[in-house]
């Protein structure tokens, strides 16, 4: 069984605490993505799991067995790295077969058969006689995957395996890896700093920062119910709008606008004064206006469009406040690609109260997360 448990695992390098007491329970057959900025401790966590580093404190279990001091060969894991690590002088067949060299219980013919089967699965059967130098990046990555898969391990450990590929190929390989995971049902821990990979591939995401786990949850939960400002800011592209301000009676007061808060949000805020309002760009609604001072309800403001980034299907619209002389962004919004907004336009901005997040400005902790009843209704409707 490929269940992985980390119990208060810490890894120090001299004075540097690379991984700080992380506890994590990864289910058998789960695809868990470890994500976070550079230096947050993702690779070190993976290397401890692989047996390439020994934890300074805490314990690692795979399939219920204690692993801390077990050599990599005896952990029933297979690793896939960013740089493929293929042997240039060997053919694809030999490279993949190499993954089986240390496995017992196979005859030579069975090893060859296994390599062929896996090559068929990965669509590289016609490349078996080539050398890595004669392959594209995507094909090399498939061979590296193949070498891991032939071993039929309990656990796959993958460290940024797609980061050397161009954007289109990366997107294709993401889908292929997901299909493979559904087929092979091998517990996978996948390290990336790319939040799109995390969102699209993971059963659950473990978000790390400064060696500590910030949240372990489904992509949906990380996006809509972040534990804190770090997770809210890391997951989501373009980034969530985070507006610092204070609570005054029943109103959030920021530098450029005030926003009324309802009873449940106020109860959650309690006696905190410094708070941060969080709004995802897709929840910043824009309406054109030709008036300098249009009629506004309490959840609306007037802003100026400072920059429009067209992405084809959508536009990222940067908004500045009319009183802000430097024209710096106050908010970012997403509009549909066909909805034409131009730099210099004056727009009415609406933020619906059921879409807001509120964070404690000091601790960063989420005090209130957006409601997502609508999404749940939709899912039920679909079923």
Cα 84 to Cα 137: distance, rounded to the nearest angstrom: 9
HEC profile of 257-289: CEEECCHHHHHHHCCCCEEEEEECHHHEEEEEC
Q: Which of residues 184-203 bind ligand ATP (CB under 6 A)?
A: 193
Sole binder of ligand ATP in the list 6, 22, 35, 40 (CB under 6 A): 40
Residue with tokens 């947050």: 40
| Number of CB atoms found within 10 A of residue 187's CB | 24
Rounded (10°) angle between helices 108-122 and 137-149: 130
Could you say whether residue 181 binds ligand ATP (CB under 6 A)? Answer: no
Torsional sign, CA 251, 254, 259, 262: negative
15 binds ligand ATP (CB under 6 A): no
Question: Which residue lies nearer to ligand ATP by CB, 163 or 375?
Answer: 163
By CB under 6 A, the residues from 89 to 108 that bind ligand ATP are: none
Q: Within 10 A of 217 (CB to CB), how many other CB atoms are there?
A: 20
Stretch that binds ligand ATP, among 32-40, 81-89, 163-171, 270-278 (CB under 6 A): 32-40
Q: Does 87 bind ligand ATP (CB under 6 A)?
A: no
Of residues 30, 42, 114, 128, which one binds ligand ATP by CB under 6 A? 42
Shortest gap between Cβ of 160 and ligand ATP (angstroms)?
7
82 counts as binding ligand ATP under rule CB under 6 A: no
Nearest to 95, CA basis, from 74, 77, 119, 75: 119
Distance CA 200, CA 263 (A): 35
Counted residue by residue, the chain has a size of 383
Q: Quick one: 6 or 119, whose CB is closer to ligand ATP?
A: 6
The single residue among 5, 27, 39, 56 that binds ligand ATP, judged by CB under 6 A, is: 39
Residue from the set 8, 13, 23, 126 that interacts with ligand ATP by CB under 6 A: 13
Rule CB under 6 A: choose which of 16, 73, 163, 248 binds ligand ATP: 16
Residue 132 DSSP SS3: helix
Which residue number, 208 or 277, has a Cβ lying nearer to ligand ATP?
A: 208
Binding site for ligand ATP (CB under 6 A): 13, 16, 18, 36, 38-44, 193
């Amino acid at each position: 069984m490929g269940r992985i448990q980390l119990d208060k695992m810490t890894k120090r390098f001299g004075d540097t605490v690379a991984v700080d007491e992380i506890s994590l329970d990864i289910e058998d057959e789960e695809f868990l993505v470890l994500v976070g900025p550079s230096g947050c401790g993702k690779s070190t966590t993976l290397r401890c799991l692989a047996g390439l580093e020994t934890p300074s404190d805490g314990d690692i279990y795979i399939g219920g067995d204690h692993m801390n001091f077990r050599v990599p060969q005896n952990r029933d894991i297979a690793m896939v790295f960013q740089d493929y690590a293929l042997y240039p002088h060997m053919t694809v067949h030999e490279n993949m077969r190499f993954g089986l060299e240390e496995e017992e219980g196979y005859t030579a013919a069975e090893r060859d058969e296994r390599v062929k089967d896996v090559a068929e699965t990965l669509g590289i059967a016609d490349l078996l006689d080539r050398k890595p130098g004669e392959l594209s990046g995507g094909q090399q990555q498939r061979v590296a995957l193949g070498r891991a898969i032939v071993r039929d391990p309990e656990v796959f450990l993958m460290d940024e395996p797609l980061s050397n590929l161009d954007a289109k190929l990366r997107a294709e390989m993401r889908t292929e890896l997901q299909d493979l995971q559904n087929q092979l049902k091998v517990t996978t821990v996948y390290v990336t700093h790319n939040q799109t990979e995390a969102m699209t591939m993971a059963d659950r995401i473990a978000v790390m920062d400064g060696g500590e786990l910030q949240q372990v949850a489904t992509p949906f939960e990380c996006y809509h119910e972040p534990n804190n400002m770090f997770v809210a800011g890391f997951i989501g592209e373009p980034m969530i709008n985070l507006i610092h301000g204070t609570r005054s009676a029943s109103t959030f007061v920021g530098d450029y606008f005030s926003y009324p808060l309802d009873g449940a949000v106020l109860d959650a805020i309690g006696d905190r004064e410094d708070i941060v309002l969080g709004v995802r760009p897709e929840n910043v609604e824009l309406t054109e206006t030709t008036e300098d001072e249009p009629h506004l309800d309490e959840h609306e403001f007037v802003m100026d469009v400072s920059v429009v980034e067209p992405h084809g299907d959508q536009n990222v619209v940067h908004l500045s406040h009319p009183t802000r002389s430097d024209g710096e962004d106050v908010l970012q919004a997403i509009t549909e690609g066909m909805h034409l907004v131009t730099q210099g336009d004056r727009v009415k901005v609406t933020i619906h109260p059921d879409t807001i997040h509120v964070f404690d400005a000091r601790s960063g902790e989420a005090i209130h997360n957006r409601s997502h009843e609508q999404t749940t209704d939709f899912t039920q409707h679909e079923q």
